[in-house]
Structure 1
Amino acid sequence: MLRTAAILGLLAAIGPFAVDMYLPAFPAIEKGLGTSVSSAQMTLTVYFIAFGIAQLFYGPFSDQVGRKPPLYLGLAIFAIGTIGCALSPTIEWLLVSRFIQGIGGAVVMVVPRAIIRDMYTGPQATRLMAMVMLVISVSPMLAPLAGSWLILIADWRAIFWVLFAAALIGIVITGYMQPETLEKHHRVPVNVRTLFRGCRILLTDPTFMGVTFIGGFGMASFFVFVANASFIYTGQFGLSATQFSLAFAVNAIGFFATSQLAAGLGEKFGMERVVSLAVLGFAGFSLLLVALTYAGFGSLLVTISFLFLANACLGFVIPTTMVIALDNHGDIAGLASSLGGTLQMLAGGLFIVVMGPFFDGTTFPMVVAIALCAIASTILTWRILPNTKSTQGERT
Structure 2
Amino acid sequence: MTRSLLRHALILGLLSAIGPFAIDMYLPALPEIGRSLDADIRQVQLSLMAFFLSLGLCQLVYGPLSDLWGRKRPLYLGLSLFALGSIGCALAPDIESLIAFRFVAGLGACAGMVVPRAIVRDLHTGTEATRLMSLLMLVFSVSPVLAPLAGSAVIAWADWRWIFWAVTAAAVLAMAMMLVFMEETRPAAERTDSSVAGALSAYGQLLRDRHFLGLVLIGAFGMSSFFSYLANSSFVLIGHYGLSPTQYSFFFSINAAAFIGVAQVNARLCARLGLPGVIRLGVIGHAGTAVLLWALFTLAGVDRLDVLAALVFVSFGFLGLVIPTTSVLALEPHGRIAGTASALLGTLQMVTGAAVMAVISAFVDGSARPMVTGIGACALVAAALTWRTLAPARPAAAVVH
- Please tell me the TM-score bracket, short chain as reference: over 0.9
**Residue 358 of structure 1 corresponds to which residue in structure 2?**
363
Unaligned residue ranges in structure 1 (runs of 5+) = 389-396
**Residue 319 of structure 2 corresponds to which residue in structure 1?**
314
- Contact residue 37 and residue 93 of structure 2 kept, 8 A: yes
| One of 300, 303, 307 as aligned partner of 1:302 | 307
AA aligned opposite 1:358: F
- Contact residue 129 and residue 328 of structure 2 kept, 8 A: yes
Residue 184 of structure 1: how far off its partner (Å): 1.8
**Residue 391 of structure 1 corresponds to which residue in structure 2?**
none
Unaligned residue ranges in structure 2 (runs of 5+) = 394-401
**Residue 135 of structure 1 corresponds to which residue in structure 2?**
139
Identical residues among aligned pairs (%):
49
**Residue 108 of structure 1 corresponds to which residue in structure 2?**
112
- Contact residue 61 and residue 190 of structure 1 kept, 8 A: no
Between the aligned partners of 1:276 and 1:235, the Cα distance in structure 2 is 36
**Residue 146 of structure 1 corresponds to which residue in structure 2?**
150
Q: Determine whether 1:382 maps to 2:390.
A: no
Matches within 5 A, 1:1-396: 1-187=5-191, 189-294=193-298, 295-386=300-391
Between the aligned partners of 1:243 and 1:59, the Cα distance in structure 2 is 38
Residue 191 of structure 1: how far off its partner (Å): 3.9
**Partner secondary structure for residue 246 of structure 1:** helix
**Partner secondary structure for residue 100 of structure 1:** helix
AA aligned opposite 2:26: Y
Q: Deviations over 1:84-121 (max 9, x none)?
A: 00000010100010000000000000111110000001
Between the aligned partners of 1:35 and 1:315, the Cα distance in structure 2 is 34
Between the aligned partners of 1:33 and 1:330, the Cα distance in structure 2 is 47
- Contact residue 283 and residue 386 of structure 2 kept, 8 A: yes
Residue 189 of structure 1: how far off its partner (Å): 4.9
Residue 359 of structure 1: how far off its partner (Å): 1.9
Residue 219 of structure 1: how far off its partner (Å): 0.7
**Partner secondary structure for residue 386 of structure 1:** coil
Residue 194 of structure 1: how far off its partner (Å): 1.1
- Relative to structure 1, is the Cα distance of residues 196 and 296 closer, same or farther in structure 2, using a 3 angstrom cutoff? same
Between the aligned partners of 2:128 and 2:364, the Cα distance in structure 1 is 40
- Contact residue 75 and residue 107 of structure 1 kept, 8 A: yes
Between the aligned partners of 1:361 and 1:336, the Cα distance in structure 2 is 39
Between the aligned partners of 2:287 and 2:228, the Cα distance in structure 1 is 15
Residue 233 of structure 1: how far off its partner (Å): 0.4
- Aligned Cα root-mean-square deviation (Å): 1.1
Between the aligned partners of 1:162 and 1:155, the Cα distance in structure 2 is 12
Residue 259 of structure 1: how far off its partner (Å): 2.5
- Contact residue 259 and residue 319 of structure 1 kept, 8 A: no
How many residues are matched? 388
Between the aligned partners of 2:366 and 2:260, the Cα distance in structure 1 is 27
- Relative to structure 1, is the Cα distance of residues 20 and 188 closer, same or farther in structure 2, using a 3 angstrom cutoff? farther
Residue 171 of structure 1: how far off its partner (Å): 1.0
**Residue 393 of structure 1 corresponds to which residue in structure 2?**
none
The alignment's TM-score, normalised by the length of structure 2, stands at 0.95
AA aligned opposite 1:379: A
Residue 73 of structure 1: how far off its partner (Å): 0.3
Residue 160 of structure 1: how far off its partner (Å): 0.4
Q: Deviations over 1:34-76 (max 9, x none)?
A: 1111111111000000000110011100001100000100000
**Partner secondary structure for residue 328 of structure 1:** helix
Larger CA deviation: 10-19 vs 101-110: 10-19
Between the aligned partners of 2:188 and 2:318, the Cα distance in structure 1 is 39
AA aligned opposite 1:98: R
**Partner secondary structure for residue 329 of structure 1:** helix
Between the aligned partners of 2:344 and 2:276, the Cα distance in structure 1 is 21
Between the aligned partners of 1:162 and 1:189, the Cα distance in structure 2 is 40
**Partner secondary structure for residue 93 of structure 2:** coil
Larger CA deviation: 268-277 vs 179-188: 179-188
- Relative to structure 1, is the Cα distance of residues 231 and 21 closer, same or farther in structure 2, using a 3 angstrom cutoff? same
**Partner secondary structure for residue 322 of structure 1:** helix
Q: Deviations over 1:260-300 (max 9, x none)?
A: 31111011111101111210111110111111112122300
The alignment's TM-score, normalised by the length of structure 1, stands at 0.96
